[in-house]
Amino acid sequence: MTDADPVLDADPVLRALAHPVRLRMLTLMWPGPMSAAELSRELGISHALASRHLRNLDAVGLVELAEERTRRGGRERRYRTVHGSPLSDRNDGAHLLGTALARALKERSARRHPEGRG
């Protein structure tokens, strides 16, 4: 008999929320939809990595496709945070989201260029 791996047996939503990049993505998409390209620029990660994290969040129901549009000859998919997810429905989730949003905004403010660029 083998011991079960608690990480593999964890709730998929909790596993998705456990990654700091995915949590930051959720906070960035809370005010409105963003594409993988927009998220990759904002987070300083590759487009492929942003897409992979978005697929993970979509698979567990934390984000949803908000719009799909043609851009520069390709198709851009923009996702939004699902309002009504475990993160927003419960009081403990709201506190977690509020804390994450505040931290993300402080970090983004600190990186903002004094002349308004970036």
pLDDT given for residue 16 in this prediction = 84
Q: Which of 5-9, 68-72, 99-103 has the highest mean pLDDT?
A: 68-72
Tens-place pLDDT, residues 76-92: 999 999 877 555 444 45
What is the DSSP code string of 12-25? HHHHHHTSHHHHHH
Q: Return the ∠ at Cα 79 (arms to 45 and 88), rounded to 5°.
A: 100
pLDDT given for residue 90 in this prediction = 46
Cα separation, 51 vs 23, whole angstroms: 14
Question: Would you call 17 exposed, middle or buried from its count of C-beta atoms within 10 A (0-12, 13-18, 19+)?
Answer: buried
Q: How far is CA 74 from CA 38, 81, 117, in A?
A: 15, 23, 27
pLDDT at 56 over 90: yes
Tens-place pLDDT, residues 4-28: 555 455 578 878 888 889 988 998 8
pTM above 0.75, yes or no: no
pLDDT given for residue 87 in this prediction = 55
Question: Would you call 93 exposed, middle or buried from its count of C-beta atoms within 10 A (0-12, 13-18, 19+)?
Answer: middle
pLDDT given for residue 46 in this prediction = 97
